[in-house]
Structure 1
Amino acid sequence: MAPNHSPGTSNLLKYHRPKLRLKEAKIPTLSQESKQCLRNLVAYRPPKARLPVPPTSRRAAVLVALFVGRMGDLYVLLSRRSATLRTYAGDTSLPGGRMDEGDVNVEDTARREAFEEIGLPRDRRKVPLLCLFEPFLAGNDLIVTPVVVLILDNTLRPMLNAAEVTSLFSHPLVSFLSSVSPFTSEPESVEVKYHTHVDHSSTGPNNAAWTIRMHRFLTGREAGGIKPVFGLTAAMLIRVATVGYARTPDFEVQLAGSPSLEQRIAWALYSRPTFRQAFEHHRIQVDWPLVKKIAGIREDSIERQAKYDHSPGKGIWSLWRHERSKL
């Protein structure tokens, strides 16, 4: 078997990170809270990955592009996806997309996509990297990594790719920790709750009942047709704000006993044919017993899997159906 690597799987701690030269930046004066938030983000390192890195075809990245507002607060750029797109048409999202074979790493992916979608320069001196976060699981069987950057030049003007992005706007980063609307003058802030959630039920390993909480935040622009920030985008921004401002939200992010993000990804890698086929196609060696352990699959099924893996003539689809039938 070939070694466990593919384009874009280089050590994520060895990316280029220029120093933040805030005194030379063309931005308003930062508030003390914003300064500390940036320090916390620069110092952040995601937990050491235990799960295998999926092939390029199953990876994506988004750019969490922060900038300083007039009062020194941090805002994040958000876009409204084109109504003509095949997936997530009209949704509020972060710039980003799937990895290309030519991308060096996920940072390169996020920057390339942001340049293609909204014209954000790829110049790391104008838009330096702050940190990478642990990957998230998207509903379309992609592993998505948030890449956090800071725009040091507020004179930059967007150039929207109309085929992908309808409009660009911003939202206070700290507001993803609050259930209170930052838009107190907007009618929606009175008539509709700024923050709401929906609990989705799913089946995990060993037929366990899983509950995943999905969050929604109003943008203050709903009257103009902009959708709220919800789902995966909301989850990633809650996480970035939690680390940056070093405090927990004033709402419950997940219910007690809910699976961790790592556990959910492990279960997806093991149980979904798209991931299995991708590993097989690229001949990537996977420590499946470790994946199953992280996912929380019973030890007896690990023994069955070990025997089954060595039986001849078993394709990836029959393997998946065989294991699913015994869980």
Structure 2
Amino acid sequence: MVSILRRLSTIALPRASLFKSMESSNFNGGSQRLVALAQQLRLYKHPPFPDEIEEQSIEESGGKVVSLVGFPESATPIAQQPEKFKPKRAAVLICLFEGDAGELRVILTKRSPKLSTHSGEVALPGGKAEEGDKDDGDTAKREAEEEIGLDPQLVNVVTILEPFLSKHFLRVVPVIGILHDKKAFKPVLNPAEVEAVFDAPLEMFLKNENRSEEEREWMGEKYLIHFFDYETEQKKYLIWGLTAGILIKAASVVYQRPPAFVEQNPKFKVSQVLTKDSVMR
């Protein structure tokens, strides 16, 4: 982790370009390392995943449920009403900041045990898009403010990753943002949604340490679900499933290298048509 940050700090940017980057991104109190990281991530372009694929595929399949490219930890399409199938859009915030030792860290939450879905699980701040949201970044920052009191003005969105598909058929867009002033962030938890907030080193999601995996199969396609054990001074957390998959991808993009283990993501194609008999249980 230190090596990548050192490398980022030595990126030769023209003075005018660097100044423009800092000015446009409003990196008040942000280090040059974070500025360089923001510059790097703005150049990232995720593979195309056009929205029209969804609607076109539904039309071509005669209204049947169609699987999408994604990373379902246990994707369960709603086959009872295939004519109403259309994944709802959601966004999560991968909020990065520089730790005391110079490492990149990401903000995570533990969901309230009272929630009807994913109760008690570790998650990234985020949720479903609402009508007033301008884009995915707006959705992710709004949800982060509602859940943990993170002021949107403290976060600079630098890029988005390709969408993931949750087991509840949410089309989840990961949004990478940089927290330029970590001291200004004073968490205020919404007890109805969040039990705890903590942070973890981003690079851990590329390492094979404290990690386990479970192989699953759907429609003849085998894929792996990853589990990461993480312990703070006071608590132990298990980060797995969709959240782990998103963080593996984010870490790969940030550090520009693959994980030290086999990801084996599912290779579900839009052309795969699901009927009631083929829904994974």
Whether TM-score is above 0.5 comes out as yes
Give 1:314's aligned residue: none
Contact 2:252 2:258 in 1 (8 A): yes
The 1:103–1:91 alpha-carbon spacing in structure 2 relative to 1, beyond 3 Å, is same
Q: Secondary structure at the match of 2:259?
A: coil
Contact 2:93 2:144 in 1 (8 A): yes
Separation in structure 2 between the aligned mates of residue 20 and residue 157 of structure 1, nearest angstrom: 23
CA shift at 1:248, angstroms? 1.0
Give 2:218's aligned residue: 202
Which one has a larger percent helix, Structure 1 or Structure 2?
1
User: Match for 1:26: what amino acid?
Assistant: G
CA shift at 1:27, angstroms? 4.7
**Alignment partner of 2:242 out of 232, 246, 267:** 232
The 1:210–1:153 alpha-carbon spacing in structure 2 relative to 1, beyond 3 Å, is same
Give 1:177's aligned residue: 206
Q: Highest relative contact order (Cα 8 Å, sep 6+), 1 or 2? A: 2
CA shift at 1:324, angstroms? 6.7
Separation in structure 1 between the aligned mates of residue 102 and residue 204 of structure 2, nearest angstrom: 15
Unaligned runs of 5+ in 1: 1-17, 181-193, 204-208, 272-319
Separation in structure 1 between the aligned mates of residue 137 and residue 53 of structure 2, nearest angstrom: 15
Q: RMSD over aligned Cα, in angstroms? A: 2.8
Q: Deviations over 1:221-268 (max 9, x none)?
A: 4973x43110000001100111111111111111xxx643xx35x267
**Alignment partner of 2:190 out of 161, 166, 170:** 161
Aligned pairs for 1:1-327 within 5 A: 19-20=21-22, 25-27=28-30, 30=33, 37-50=37-50, 52=52, 58-123=88-153, 126-155=154-183, 156-180=185-209, 194-203=210-219, 209-221=220-232, 224=235, 226-254=236-264, 259-260=266-267, 263-264=268-269, 266=270, 270-271=273-274
The 1:169–1:28 alpha-carbon spacing in structure 2 relative to 1, beyond 3 Å, is farther
Separation in structure 2 between the aligned mates of residue 48 and residue 215 of structure 1, nearest angstrom: 25
Separation in structure 2 between the aligned mates of residue 245 and residue 37 of structure 1, nearest angstrom: 10
Q: Secondary structure at the match of 1:79?
A: strand
The 1:172–1:324 alpha-carbon spacing in structure 2 relative to 1, beyond 3 Å, is closer
Separation in structure 2 between the aligned mates of residue 28 and residue 93 of structure 1, nearest angstrom: 27
Separation in structure 2 between the aligned mates of residue 232 and residue 259 of structure 1, nearest angstrom: 12
Q: Deviations over 1:192-218 (max 9, x none)?
A: xx0111111111xxxxx1111111111
Moved more, 161-170 or 215-224: 215-224
Q: Secondary structure at the match of 1:19?
A: helix
Work out the number of aligned pairs and report it: 228
The 1:134–1:71 alpha-carbon spacing in structure 2 relative to 1, beyond 3 Å, is same
Contact 1:130 1:150 in 2 (8 A): yes
Which one has a larger percent strand, Structure 1 or Structure 2?
2
Q: Secondary structure at the match of 1:158?
A: coil
Separation in structure 1 between the aligned mates of residue 271 and residue 170 of structure 2, nearest angstrom: 13
Q: Deviations over 1:143-196 (max 9, x none)?
A: 11000000011122111111101111001111110012xxxxxxxxxxxxx011
Q: Deviations over 1:56-115 (max 9, x none)?
A: 861111000011111221100000100100001110000011112222222221111111
